[in-house]
Structure 1
């Protein structure tokens, strides 16, 4: 990546964030994380209380990209074929024809994903990992870019199914939006008459430009010292006495993809250890499985990541110490 390319990437990234920020007020940090996940070819899990703007964020991102975006409302009676599509026999032609489901879109909003049965949730595993759906033995690509933005409500657990670790690992990031500040709340209330604010968002980028940004971010330089730093951090989470399952190699690779985009979004063609520190929690915390006794004592995935960052010296810190 050249300096000119890095500058263009950062400028375009800022435009995307500002466009969504015109609707999702005061949450630039969360929006930056969401677009980082998109440009890393990853998926985003939003877990927050009702009424914080999870669906608004997802719909606004879908409107920002000049592609297709679908919403799937997950319910207990939703079937896998309702998501992926189904093969139908055409009597006129005497052949079976595949009818695509709503998963075939640039951005898919999986609303309240934990309300669907495990069987339906598993229908997302292949497409989130490989970007394709297999129906009756035939593979169908969903295209590029492709992103799933899933939401779930951690407060109301009645009638929900907890996401299995295998599916959680498919999400590049997990974050929450939180309530807006008072100033932003006043601005939201002033525009309360418009109940569908995301409909006012205009597309600012094409899917081909998104694909170009994805390919460009992959060329960001990562020094061997930073690679070693990420490896040590992931090993620390696995060696912790409070974890049953630490960060896998796939989780470490996911972080590397994300920090490249994060660096490019700031106009840099190289990754700094600070990029790793900033993204470690949203990329890794949901992948860590806490030991039941430690979880009962209040240990969380965020705390495990914080402990690893505190215990492992970053490359520049080692140089200063020397």
Structure 2
């Protein structure tokens, strides 16, 4: 399999939204890396549209859940139903048993719902009572959230954030892009959205994943990845300001994520091995939701992206 085989998926998503190339790349990298994606942005920026377009372009079941404060864990997991004719309980699966799950406005749900989603994302299974049920081989969560400053939103637990492979930030379009959005809306009004001729089969997707995981990553770059993640835990060794700005660094899961995503980035670029620039291109999306900055950093207007950008200039490339 080659990146050309994934081009119809990219083209279908790009036909539904204007711009947002980094967002599309993040979705494809997570798809190839068997990971979950957290998408943050203000309402109306086509986050949901893009996720639905990805689901249309890939073979599998798709389900959307609108997260609300009154959502219950059983609304995700499913529940045991008593069958009078059999005299026993029968499990009725919930939305988590679909291949691609859109968790819309995920940061509006209570903690119990987040814990149910956490098990599915972390263990690829769900537990109901005393029984555990495996999820499909293709299981991907794409969760959208509005910025936490919005009314009725809550910070996701750090343990759950760590289970998202990447976090994409969707920004406002440029003036030229917004003009194209108006043109696209006029063209599509009253007509059903175009669907891909043939969705990417799960068998082909799994072959692509094997190709990605087999891509060569030099042992020296293993050291570079670990140095980057270690630097988030001991930033003062590199710069006094970085030490003032960061409370908690990233876990070893971040190192694994960087290696996996860098391979996917290199594969998408058509390269036969991972280079330092592949690592640097994926690090911001992997670390932006895993770092906890200090109140001092927030007061100075320092974002996690600014912290990571500074870090990338200080950690030596082998």
Answer whether TM exceeds 0.5 for this pair.
yes
Is the Cα contact below 8 Å between 1:74 and 1:115 reproduced in 2?
yes
Residues 213, 69 of structure 1: CA spacing in aligned structure 2 closer, same or farther, 3 A cutoff? same
RMSD between aligned residues: 1.7
Match of residue 222, structure 1, among 208, 217, 230: 217
Is the Cα contact below 8 Å between 1:72 and 1:110 reproduced in 2?
yes
Looking at structure 2, the residues matched to 127 and 99 of structure 1 have their Cα atoms a distance apart, in angstroms, of 16
Residue 300 of structure 1: CA displacement? 2.0
Looking at structure 1, the residues matched to 192 and 291 of structure 2 have their Cα atoms a distance apart, in angstroms, of 34
Residues 198, 145 of structure 1: CA spacing in aligned structure 2 closer, same or farther, 3 A cutoff? farther
Matches within 5 A, 1:121-136: 121-136=114-129
Looking at structure 1, the residues matched to 220 and 302 of structure 2 have their Cα atoms a distance apart, in angstroms, of 30
Residues 312, 254 of structure 1: CA spacing in aligned structure 2 closer, same or farther, 3 A cutoff? same
User: Which residue pairs with 2:301 in the alignment?
Assistant: 298
Structure 1 residue 262 and structure 2 residue 255: aligned?
A: no
Q: Deviations over 1:107-128 (max 9, x none)?
A: 1000001111111111111110
Residue 304 of structure 1: CA displacement? 2.1
Q: Deviations over 1:176-215 (max 9, x none)?
A: 2222333332232123254698842325301221122112
Match of residue 200, structure 1, among 171, 194, 199: 194
Looking at structure 2, the residues matched to 237 and 293 of structure 1 have their Cα atoms a distance apart, in angstroms, of 16
Segments of 5+ residues of structure 2 without an aligned counterpart are 236-242
Matches within 5 A, 1:19-30: 19-30=12-23
Residue 243 of structure 1: CA displacement? 1.4
Structure 1 residue 210 and structure 2 residue 213: aligned?
A: no
User: Which residue pairs with 2:64 in the alignment?
Assistant: 71
Segments of 5+ residues of structure 1 without an aligned counterpart are 1-7, 316-322
Looking at structure 1, the residues matched to 189 and 143 of structure 2 have their Cα atoms a distance apart, in angstroms, of 21
TM-score under structure 2 length normalisation: 0.92
Is the Cα contact below 8 Å between 2:106 and 2:143 reproduced in 1?
yes
Is the Cα contact below 8 Å between 1:80 and 1:120 reproduced in 2?
yes
Looking at structure 1, the residues matched to 12 and 225 of structure 2 have their Cα atoms a distance apart, in angstroms, of 32
Structure 1 residue 314 and structure 2 residue 317: aligned?
A: yes
Is the Cα contact below 8 Å between 1:144 and 1:207 reproduced in 2?
no
How many residues end up aligned between the 2 structures? Answer: 308
Is the Cα contact below 8 Å between 2:148 and 2:155 reproduced in 1?
no
Q: Secondary structure at the match of 2:101?
A: strand
Residues 127, 195 of structure 1: CA spacing in aligned structure 2 closer, same or farther, 3 A cutoff? farther
Residues 302, 206 of structure 1: CA spacing in aligned structure 2 closer, same or farther, 3 A cutoff? same
Is the Cα contact below 8 Å between 2:148 and 2:154 reproduced in 1?
no
Q: Secondary structure at the match of 1:192?
A: helix
Looking at structure 2, the residues matched to 100 and 53 of structure 1 have their Cα atoms a distance apart, in angstroms, of 29
Match of residue 7, structure 2, among 14, 32, 44: 14
